[in-house]
């Protein structure tokens, strides 16, 4: 956990124009890799460069419109920007006072995209699976069904 000399977890990271451009390209590549009928892609990319938890942990889902209604599936993006994405996450983590960041991305099929990078502490990388890490993604559809249904029109 960060001490009093570090910013609180979830402090927003300001991106350079080049970093912001890459995040936008990543979001577009995720949208292009989404399956037919997709409604929303939701991702949480945690990256740490600290010796205790070095690595990247990702939790990604896609909500798909099917004949039976909305369905949540595990999402696997294309490898198109794999290296650039990893380099960006490590660069941002190295500049973080906690040596850990989280990139959160929400992409709707209508083109709306939200992306944010925040300073955090290792969670998924050290086995934490709770409300502060993977659970909001794993339970995305059940928690956001009304909003997602409204997007269908």
The full set of domains in the chain, from first to last, is: 17-151 (3.30.500)
Structure-token pair, residue 150: 């409204």
Question: What pLDDT, on a 0 to 100 scale, did the predictor assign at position 2?
Answer: 37
The answer to whether 104 touches 95, Cβ cutoff 8 Å, is: no
Ordered alpha helix ranges (H), 16-134: 17-33, 82-95
Largest CA distance in the chain: 53
Give the separation between CA 91 and CA 86, rounded to whole angstroms: 8
Place of tokens 């339970």: 139
Question: What pLDDT, on a 0 to 100 scale, did the predictor assign at position 48?
Answer: 97
9 confidence band (pLDDT: 50, 70, 90): low
pTM of structure: 0.89
Question: What pLDDT, on a 0 to 100 scale, did the predictor assign at position 10?
Answer: 66
**How does DSSP classify residue 12?**
B
Tens digit of pLDDT for each residue in 53-100?
999 999 999 999 999 999 999 999 999 999 999 999 999 999 999 999
Question: What pLDDT, on a 0 to 100 scale, did the predictor assign at position 7?
Answer: 43
Average pLDDT for 124-144: 93
Exposure string over 122-143, b if 16+ CB within 10 A, otherwise e? bbbbeebeeeebbebbbebbee
Question: What pLDDT, on a 0 to 100 scale, did the predictor assign at position 5?
Answer: 39
Give the separation between CA 41 and CA 106, rounded to whole angstroms: 6
């Amino acid at each position: 956990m960060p001490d009093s000399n570090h910013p609180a977890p979830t402090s927003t990271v300001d991106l350079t124009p080049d970093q912001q451009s890459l995040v936008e390209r990543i979001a577009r590549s995720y949208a292009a890799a989404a399956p037919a009928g997709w409604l929303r892609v939701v991702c949480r990319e945690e990256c740490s460069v600290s010796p205790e938890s070095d690595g990247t942990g990702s939790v990604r889902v896609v909500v798909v419109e099917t004949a039976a209604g909305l369905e949540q599936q595990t999402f696997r993006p294309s490898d198109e920007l794999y290296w650039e994405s990893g380099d960006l996450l490590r660069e941002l983590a190295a500049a973080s006072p906690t040596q850990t960041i989280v990139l959160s991305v929400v992409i709707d099929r209508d083109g709306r995209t939200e992306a944010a990078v925040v300073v955090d502490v290792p969670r998924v990388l050290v086995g934490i699976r709770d409300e502060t890490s993977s659970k909001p993604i794993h339970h995305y559809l059940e928690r956001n069904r009304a909003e997602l249904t409204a997007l269908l029109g």
